[in-house]
Amino acid sequence: MAFQFNFSIEEKAENELETLGDTALQLESAQASLNPGGSTEKSKEISSEENVVHKESLCAHEATPKTTDPVANCSPNKSQVQVLPKERAGFKVAKEHNIPEDFSKVLENKVMDAVQGLYYVNISVVEMTLSNDSHEEDIVSKSISSHSDLITGIYEGGLKIWECTFDLMDYLSEAEMQFINKTVLDLGCGAGLLGILALKREAEKVHFQDYNRTVIDEITLPNVVANWTDGGGDGGISEPPSKKHKKADFIPAVLSKCRFFSGEWAEFSQLLLSGNKPFSKYDLILTSETIYNPDYYSALHDTISKLLDKNGHVYLASKAHYFGVGGGVHIFEKFIEERNVFRTRTVKVIDEGLMRYIIEMTFKISS
């Protein structure tokens, strides 16, 4: 199986950061040679002297990166958001993605990194692969040509791992959140780290949803598979054959707990509720950096209200404000208050650089 692990989980974050930095420089050089004269800059937040706008929120001032998280430090920066007129915005019909029978193909040619005890595919390598191949959505070349990590209605940033994902992972650990026998939705999942964390903690069912099909196929599903295999074949981590066999057998059992979806939120909820497969509403909905655009609030609110169990909880991680798009925690809380369906509660504030929040949402109980 042709995939490679860059890190073992036990390695120190300092070594991870150094290795990622070297990989990033090599990838930038390779991509520049493949795209002569093109704009393919992928500036890294670990270089504090670069004059760029950080990925964190399209903010007008730079936020302090989390030096203990190699992914947060090495995520490409946002330069701007390309907002299309509503009548031109793409419409993503929801679909459920089939889980392939041959798991070796899922990780074929993937390079694996690790953070906080979880494996994930090296996103820069995936971007280079996608930019050189023909793909239906073509989101990488569109992102590069528009100098943006967000193109409204076309690409919603799922190829990146945004900082608030780590904030929410930290909170779930600190709060000792219980997942046993829970049904969980990783909404706007991107890399799927929140859902993978729920699987690791023995959730009964975990569903993953992202706007783009490419993200599910090239990022989310490989990440889930990678966290239940330690490699093998060229570039893999060697281990006793019996242990490999045990891991390989365990993958189908894990994936039987999972479903993978792409498409816009309204279509996604309709697909679940009207589909032929049995569906139980979610005990937990986890979502990170999904309230950057106020135009999406209505769809997000309606999706959560339709899919959340009456006693369920939503945990949402967000920046205080997203400059250039207009969304943020306070405007979203005002929107929720006006709808009068949910109550919100701030459970954690991260006061590092641009302020970030973890918000809990539950249904209001009628008296």
Q: For residue 55, how many C-alpha atoms fall within 13 Å in the half-sphere facing its CB?
A: 26
Q: Is the pTM of this model over 0.75?
A: no
CB 152 within 8 A of CB 84: yes
On the question of pLDDT at 1 being above 50, the answer is: no
What was the pLDDT predicted at 132? Answer: 65
Is the torsion defined by CA of 224, 229, 232, 236 positive or negative?
positive
92, containing H or E segment: none
Per-residue pLDDT tens over the stretch 259-293: 999 999 999 999 999 988 889 999 999 999 999 99
Helices of type H across 95-162: 103-106, 123-132, 139-145
pLDDT digit string, tens, across residues 299-312: 999 999 999 999 99
Sequence-separated contacts (24+) of 235-242 with Cβ below 8 Å? 235/2, 235/3, 235/4, 235/5, 236/1, 236/3, 236/4, 236/5, 237/5, 237/8
At residue 190's C-alpha, the angle toward residues 184 and 191, to 5°, is 85
Residue 197 has pLDDT above 90, yes or no: yes
> What's residue 63's pLDDT?
37
Determine how β-strand 118-121 pairs with β-strand 111-115. antiparallel
**What number is the average pLDDT over the span 71-80?**
39
pLDDT at 136 over 90: no
* Encoded tokens for 16: 């991870």
Q: pLDDT tens digits for 240-265?
A: 333 343 455 567 788 999 999 999 99
Distances (CA, A) of 67 to 41, 50, 130, 365: 22, 16, 29, 41
Alpha-carbon distance of 3 to 23, in angstroms, equals: 16
